[in-house]
Amino acid sequence: MSESVIGGIKSVGEALGAPGFVSRVFVAKGKREAAVEAILDAASAQGVPFEFVPPIKLNSLTGAGDHQGIAAKVSPVAYRPFDEWLAEDFTGNGCAVVLDQVQHPKNLGMIIRAAAGAGCAGVVVPARGGALVDDAVVRASAGTVFQMPLVRCGNIAQTLRSLQSAGCWVYGLSGEARQDVFEVDWPRRCALVLGNETHGLRHAVAKACDDQLRIPLAPRVESLNVAVAAGIALFQYARAHSPHFRAS
């Protein structure tokens, strides 16, 4: 179930023919024949990152020398392109989770699990700079990764602007914020942005948010694990809007 690596022009091309499963493409430096260019065009169209690497790295990734100068990482879960998800799936009220360079697979898995439990509309991850879905993510999510739309985007700040244009109010979670998650009047259509485990939200991402929220903590406790913080904030949204949290 873990993320696997495939090699060869035909194999990589066919994998890209099922959009969403290829998470990254590797090409040998100097390899620019027509078939490879076609694969790179397909990867670009799907928002799949690619990089040029020494042939020895391809040998290491694939465990063989017959990769034809190209390889790809293939995820067990299909990623949805952001624009497609926004236009087709996230069309009503709900909360989306946007991750700004969350690095650790277990954190990614636990965030996905919390998002699924809170009834979120999807988890948006960057094509570059964050954890990819592998076996550790699947285990940490307790399988909910197969229930939750996993959405791949490019530039996070631009992604937030697109969400805003689609009627979302965007909150960034930050320990420096003045307003806390227990006080805010959660709008029915919103997005919650979570930052890197060590550095939090990048400046450009924080600036692109409409507002920032914090989780109040007892003295001498500086911060919470990002997945724990995500769960606390998301269930405040769910408590405000989900029928599952309302008394009958």
Rounded to whole angstroms, how far apart are CA atoms 121 and 242? 12
> Is residue 178 classed as helix, strand or coil in its secondary structure?
coil
Parallel, antiparallel or unpaired: strands 70-74 and 4-7 = antiparallel
Vertex 92: Cα angle to 91 and 95 (nearest 5): 100
Residue 12 per-residue DSSP state = H
CATH match of 79-245 with 3.40.1280.10:
yes
CATH no. of 4-74: 3.30.1330.30
Tokens 């959660």 locate to 186
Q: How confident is the model at residue 246 (pLDDT cuts 50, 70, 90)?
A: low
Burial bucket for residue 87 (CB in 10 Å: 0-12, 13-18, 19+) = exposed
For residue 200, the SS3 value is strand
Considering the chain, what percentage of its residues have pLDDT values greater than 90? Answer: 62
pLDDT over 50 at 248, yes or no: no
pLDDT tens digit sequence for 14-41: 888 877 888 889 999 988 889 999 999 9
Residue 235 has φ and ψ, to the nearest 5°, of -80, -15
Convert the pLDDT of each residue in 140-192 to its tens digit: 888 888 889 999 998 999 999 999 999 999 999 998 899 999 999 999 999 99
Order of strands, sheet of 211-214, starting from the edge strand that comes earlier in the sequence: 79-81, 150-153, 122-126, 94-99, 189-194, 169-173, 211-214, 179-180
Cα distance between residue 206 and residue 45, in whole Å: 28
For the chain, give every residue range classified as CATH 3.30.1330.30.
4-74
Alpha-carbon distance of 228 to 235, in angstroms, equals 11
First-to-final CA distance of the chain: 40
Q: Is 88 helix (H, G, I), strand (E, B) or coil?
A: helix
The mean per-residue pLDDT over the stretch 204-227 comes to 94
Kindly report, as residue ranges, where domains of CATH 3.40.1280.10 are found in the chain.
79-245
The answer to whether the beta carbons of residues 122 and 97 sit under 8 Å apart is: yes
